[in-house]
Amino acid sequence: MNTTTTTLPAPAPDAIPKARFDWKPLLLLAAIALVALPLVGNPASWVTLTLAGLAMGLIIFIIASGLTLVFGLMDVLNFGHGVFIALGAFMATTVLGAMGGFTASPSLIANLVAVAAASLAGMAVAGAVGLAFERVLVRPVYGMHLKQILITMGGMIIGEEMIKLVWGPQLIALPMPEALRGALWFGDVSVEKFRILAVLAGLKVLVLLLLVLNKTKLGLLIRAGVQDREMVESLGYRIRRLFVAVFVGGSALAGLGGVMWGLYQQGVTPQIGAQVNTLIFIVIIIGGLGSTLGCFVGALAVGLLANYIGFVAPKAALFSNIGLMVAVLLWRPQGLYPVGGKQ
């Protein structure tokens, strides 16, 4: 035995090259910001726009991260994802409406308690509905893309109608809590207070997701499941349960995103789901379907571009997303961070 081991050449240190981190998509973000600087002209406005864009991007990231996770692991593209977003937003109207004493008080702590309560309620309801959604609608159609699209679209219709049943079909105003209104000024740079909250929430979600995915056994299983589902199953792990957990988690994230988005828009309509759906599809296409980091970069790119173009050429802002998507797909047809084994 000893002889065989000695004859084996010692593995060269770079036999398995460590996957090199791909910096180019991050450079894209920097490039967008740099190109925007001379177009915007005024540095103070540019900083304001950049911060606003990053905050918007982080809200979009919260919404879209769940969808891309679900797609990555389960190969299910949920066209009904917008329902969970709408649910979160409507729960926010109910909870914040009921906690009028907290939202109207000028104390930041009371306001934050109200927003936290709304977020928890939105996540809980969206997660619970997600559980039912997975069990009733999605479970029978795993692996069948055509049926998945049709079924989740049907789920979207039903969900939107149920929301109208509970909250009515009209727009509900969602005023910002007292202390979160207005902006902070640093010299000529203004930062809306709510956006600071959005950035904190978005970063928290990002860090949590990356920690769970990269540092825990659960995350290891999820990532392994994304790469090769059968292998994980044959090792004896019940990937189905993992599926359900991820679906519920993704729905809950959408609920949280819905709360933030509703506050950001300061009003909620039942159609919010369908509207946001298009936006998050663009984000996860740009990022590379199933990739959390890609979703993050894609969301930031969308947020930044929307704010810059909204300032420079407001009319063109409506098409900034689609233009960005086309440009990215021409550059990288699989998205910024393609996930191995897919496509």
Partner 1 sequence: MIRSLLSHDLPRSKLLAALLIATVLGLALTPFIFPGTKALNVAAKILIFIVLVSSYDLLLGYTGIVSFAHTMFFGIGAYGVAIACSRAEDPGWGTVLTGIGGALGISLVLSLVIGLFSLRVKAIFFAMITMAVAAAFMTLASQLSEITGGEDGLSFKVPEALRPSTEYFEEPVLGAMIDGKFAAYYLLFVATVVLVLLLLRIVNSPFGRVLQAIRENDFRAEAIGYRTVVYRTLSNVLAALFATAAGALLALWLRYNGPDTSLSLEIMLDILLIVVIGGMGTIYGAVIGSVLFVLAQNYLQDLMKLGAGAVEGIPVLSQLIAPDRWLLWMGLLFVLAVYHFPFGVVGRLRLGAAAKARE
Q: What token pair was written down for 200?
A: 């904190």
Nearest residue to 281 (alpha-carbon basis) of 261, 256, 265, 302: 302
Nearest residue to 21 (alpha-carbon basis) of 281, 341, 222, 294: 294
**Span of 107-115, 211-219, 226-234, 317-325 interacting with partner 1 by CB under 8 A:** 317-325
Give the number of other CB atoms < 10 A from CB of residue 89: 33
Q: Give the binding-site size for partner 1 (rule: CB under 8 A).
A: 38
Based on CB atoms, which residue is closest to partner 1, 155 or 262? 155
Residue 149 found at the interface with partner 1 (CB under 8 A):
yes
Task: Pick one of 34, 116, 157, 313: the residue that binds partner 1 (CB under 8 A).
Answer: 157
Please report, in angstroms and rounded to a whole number, the separation of the first and last CA atoms in the chain: 44
Instruction: Spell out the residues 6+ positions from residue 235 whose beta carbon is closer than 8 angstroms to its own.
Output: none
Residue 299 found at the interface with partner 1 (CB under 8 A):
no
Based on CB atoms, which residue is closest to partner 1, 147 or 181? 147
Task: Pick one of 29, 114, 137, 226: the residue that binds partner 1 (CB under 8 A).
Answer: 137
Based on CB atoms, which residue is closest to partner 1, 147 or 238? 147
Residue 132 found at the interface with partner 1 (CB under 8 A):
no
Residue 291 found at the interface with partner 1 (CB under 8 A):
no
**Span of 55-63, 116-124, 143-151, 299-307 interacting with partner 1 by CB under 8 A:** 143-151
Distances (CA, A) of 74 to 66, 250, 277: 12, 12, 19
Residue 22 and residue 29: Cα distance in Å, rounded?
13
Task: Pick one of 30, 35, 43, 147: the residue that binds partner 1 (CB under 8 A).
Answer: 147
Residue 325 found at the interface with partner 1 (CB under 8 A):
yes
Residue 171 found at the interface with partner 1 (CB under 8 A):
no
Residue 121 and residue 249: Cα distance in Å, rounded?
14
Based on CB atoms, which residue is closest to partner 1, 48 or 320? 320
Give the number of other CB atoms < 10 A from CB of residue 164: 14
C-beta of residue 304 within 8 angstroms of C-beta of residue 54? yes
Beta strands in 125-237 (DSSP E): 172-173, 183-186, 189-192
Residue 161 found at the interface with partner 1 (CB under 8 A):
yes
Based on CB atoms, which residue is closest to partner 1, 96 or 325? 325
Residue 232 and residue 217: Cα distance in Å, rounded?
12
Based on CB atoms, which residue is closest to partner 1, 20 or 315? 315
Rule CB under 8 A: which residues touch partner 1? Answer: 77, 79, 137, 140, 145-151, 153-155, 157-158, 160-162, 164-165, 169, 274, 277-278, 281-282, 285, 289, 315, 318-319, 321-322, 325, 329, 333, 343
